[in-house]
Structure 1
Amino acid sequence: MAFMVLFSTMSFSMDMHFCGDSLVDFKLFQQADDCGMAMDGTTSDDLMGVENHCCSDVEVVVSGQDDLHSVASDISFEQQNLIISFLLVYTHFFNEVDKQSIPFKEYSPPLLIRDVQLMDQTFLI
């Protein structure tokens, strides 16, 4: 959510310089450098009013939001209580138990005083 707020309020500009149809330079937050094909001085085409440039600059400006609205104030007190209680119950009941405790793990079984199977003469065949 923090990234969404950050990117929705951030403004930036991209500047691209094309020479013909190919991208020569791309800058973020700065002006792109030209390819050196810019001609200084006038030619016969400039005198006749015909501009025949192969280079072009494209600037894309992305402006962010200036005003943010607080959503928490739009939620009623009962809805806030419901959300908080749901989160508490969800985190409490759905936690994984790392290790179950076995209360009789450290105790040994009692010693046999007499063999009950032999006394009752019950044998598995």
Structure 2
Amino acid sequence: MFHKIFSVALAVLVLFSTVSFTVEKHFCGDTLIDISVFTKAQKCDMEAFEAEQAAITKKHCCKDTIDFVKGQDQLTIKKFEDLELNQQLFLTAFTYSYLSVFEDLSRHTIPHKYYSPPNLVADIQVRDQVFLI
């Protein structure tokens, strides 16, 4: 169970480290109105009024900021030959020992496969007066 949880956590870590996204924020004055991650941020009601006043005052009270979070775009993939000798030795020994755990038992001979137990002449528990309580 721990192995599955650990592998899923590593897969999610790789996924989130390579994903890029943008965070768009809309401010009206100094007040944050809306934050959006994948879509456009909603504009406030002052945006329409501001368009009319822009010709007169030339000053905007609303502003949009966009923060771009760039993920990792190049993953390094090492080959077996790129590893140092100690790492190659460890990886080879670990793989060999791990795969030997899952040997197929059908190839091995089982010496007691066709053994038939002896016939019981008497009930030994009753004869020796030994009972489980």
**TM-score of Structure 1 vs Structure 2, range by shorter chain:** 0.5 to 0.7
How far is the alpha carbon of 1:79 from its aligned partner?
2.5
What residue number does 2:128 align with? 111
Aligned letter for 1:111? D
Query: Can you give the 5+ residue segments of structure 1 that lack an aligned partner in the other structure?
Result: 93-106, 113-125
For residues 85 and 42 of structure 2, the distance between their equivalents in structure 1, rounded to whole angstroms, comes to: 56
For residues 126 and 37 of structure 2, the distance between their equivalents in structure 1, rounded to whole angstroms, comes to: 76
- Calculate the TM-score normalised by the size of structure 1: 0.55
What residue number does 1:17 align with? 26
For residues 66 and 80 of structure 1, the distance between their equivalents in structure 2, rounded to whole angstroms, comes to: 27
**36, 45, 54: which is aligned to 2:57?**
45
What residue number does 2:83 align with? 75
Partner-residue secondary structure (3-state), 1:67: coil
Which structure's residues are more often helix, by fraction? Answer: 2
- CA RMSD in angstroms, aligned pairs only: 3.0
- Calculate the TM-score normalised by the size of structure 2: 0.52
Aligned letter for 1:44? I
For residues 17 and 36 of structure 1, the distance between their equivalents in structure 2, rounded to whole angstroms, comes to: 12
Partner-residue secondary structure (3-state), 1:66: coil
Higher-Rg member (1/2): 1
Query: Can you give the 5+ residue segments of structure 2 that lack an aligned partner in the other structure?
Result: 1-9, 102-123
